[in-house]
């Protein structure tokens, strides 16, 4: 392992990776290695970052070349993985980090990677090496688990949380691949809710034309109890959780449902559908959380609304904050989800002054 605080960003010139690179460059963390298959794109980002106190270097790394991946990981004090689709990358980069004594942050990864890193003696290996792996350090999952934790700290005893997450956004090929494959028990349960300590299947219906403070136009909200929501429910000992994916346009959910029904793994139609929604409705991303304290029959005790222009920028914010926390020694060794390990109030306070989002705290919700 390098003796410096060199940070390698794999997929460093992509939508999320470039956001991470810009933030870490501004923060003074580094030096940075901007890595990926396309050296020209890496060089463009390094040039855009410009000079300053933090050096940035383009590096060519192919995920299919284990030797090149190990050579890259060995240069890093911390490896931030923003390469995708995550369902194809899985634990490849994380294991290269561990082999080379490098801490690891994944903007995605999620449960499929967590489960693989815990297979056999996997979790013990990270502890034994004194290394930290932080997964799901993005907007969703990640920020979606941190913000309700902070909101819960503002009330006495949280009993219920309703969440609405989504908007209208273009899809990169990697993001489209992850959206298409984000189904099955490793991701969550459609139509389900959390009730009194257990997942209750087929308990919620879609909510059409829903008006919420965080969303600039009415949305269609589809219930999907993610694995992150289930962990949140257990961590906060909640009696009830209602978790919704919100769509601000209709082309993407229509195409997604069709692709799932046909078992189609081609992402081109999904990318086109998302682009059409953006042309019709603009691009925006929101998260809204309603929390109840005690009696959950009446209006919520508090509401947190987040409004942003770009979910990729928000993922970059979380991954960069996670990288800084790992380098500062704020997290224990082992494998963790970002929402379980990062300080939710610190993330909330930092994001409250960040141009990537506007956060509004309020009382009973309208709509």
Given a contact cutoff of 8 angstroms between Cβ atoms, the answer to whether 75 and 104 are in contact is no
DSSP string over 25-90: HHHT---EEEEES-HHHHHHHHHHH-SSSS-EEEEE--TT-HHHHHHHHHT-SEEEE--S-HHHHT
Q: How confident is the chain (367 residues) per 10-residue block, as mean pLDDT?
A: 75 96 92 97 95 86 95 97 88 96 95 89 88 97 98 94 95 84 81 97 96 94 97 97 95 90 87 93 95 89 94 96 97 97 98 95 60
Within a 13 Å sphere around the CA of 132, how many CA atoms are in the beta-carbon half? Answer: 22
Q: Pick 7-135's CATH classification: 3.60.21.10, 3.40.50.720, 3.40.50.800, 3.40.1110.10.
A: 3.40.50.720
DSSP 366: P
Of the candidates 109, 107, 103, 105, which has an alpha carbon nearest to the alpha carbon of residue 90?
A: 109
CA nearest to 12, candidates 55, 51, 60, 52: 60
Query: What is the CATH architecture assignment of 143-310+356-362?
Result: 2-Layer Sandwich (3.30)
Instruction: State the pLDDT at residue 11.
Output: 96
How many Å apart are CA 324 and CA 309, to the nearest integer?
24
In the chain, list all ranges with CATH 3.30.360. 143-310+356-362
Residue 367 has a pLDDT of: 37
Strand partners, 78: 7, 103
pLDDT value for 364? 52
Rounded-to-integer distance, Cα 307 and Cα 211, Å: 14
- Residues 129, 98: contact at Cβ < 8 Å? yes
Residue range(s) occupied by CATH 3.40.50.720 in the chain: 7-135
Give me the pLDDT at residue 365, please: 43
């Amino acid at each position: 392992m390098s003796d410096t605080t060199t940070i390698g960003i794999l997929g460093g010139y992509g939508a999320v990776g470039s956001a991470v690179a810009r933030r870490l460059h501004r923060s003074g963390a580094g030096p940075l290695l901007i890595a990926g298959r396309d050296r020209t794109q890496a060089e463009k980002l390094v040039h855009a970052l410009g000079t300053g106190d933090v050096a940035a270097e383009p590096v060519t790394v192919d995920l299919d070349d284990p030797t090149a991946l190990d050579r890259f990981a060995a240069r890093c004090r911390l490896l931030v993985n923003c390469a995708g689709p995550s369902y194809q990358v899985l634990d490849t980069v994380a294991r290269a980090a561990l082999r080379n004594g490098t801490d690891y942050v994944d903007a995605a990864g999620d449960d499929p990677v967590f489960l693989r890193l815990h297979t056999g003696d996997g979790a013990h290996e990270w502890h034994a090496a004194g290394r930290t792996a932080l997964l799901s350090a993005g907007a969703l999952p990640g920020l979606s688990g941190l913000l309700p934790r902070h909101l819960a700290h503002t009330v006495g005893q949280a009993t219920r949380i309703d969440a609405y997450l989504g908007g209208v956004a273009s899809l990169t090929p990697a993001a489209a691949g992850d959206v298409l494959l984000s189904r099955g028990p490793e991701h969550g349960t459609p139509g389900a809710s959390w009730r009194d300590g257990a997942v209750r299947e087929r308990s919620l219906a879609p909510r059409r034309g829903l008006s919420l403070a965080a969303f600039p136009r009415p949305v269609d909200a589809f219930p999907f109890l993610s694995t992150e929501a289930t962990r949140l429910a257990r961590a906060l000992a909640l009696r009830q959780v209602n978790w919704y994916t919100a769509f601000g346009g209709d082309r993407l959910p229509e195409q997604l449902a069709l692709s799932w029904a046909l078992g189609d793994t081609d992402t081109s139609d999904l990318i086109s559908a998302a682009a059409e929604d953006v042309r019709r409705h603009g691009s925006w991303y929101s998260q809204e959380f309603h929390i109840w304290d005690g009696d959950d029959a009446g209006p919520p005790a508090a509401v947190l609304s987040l409004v942003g222009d770009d979910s990729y920028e928000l993922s970059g914010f979380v991954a960069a904050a996670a990288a800084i926390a790992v380098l500062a020694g704020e997290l224990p060794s082992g494998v963790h989800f970002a929402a379980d390990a990062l300080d939710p109030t610190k993330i909330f306070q930092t994001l409250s002054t960040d141009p990537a989002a506007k956060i509004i705290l309020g009382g009973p919700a309208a709509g």
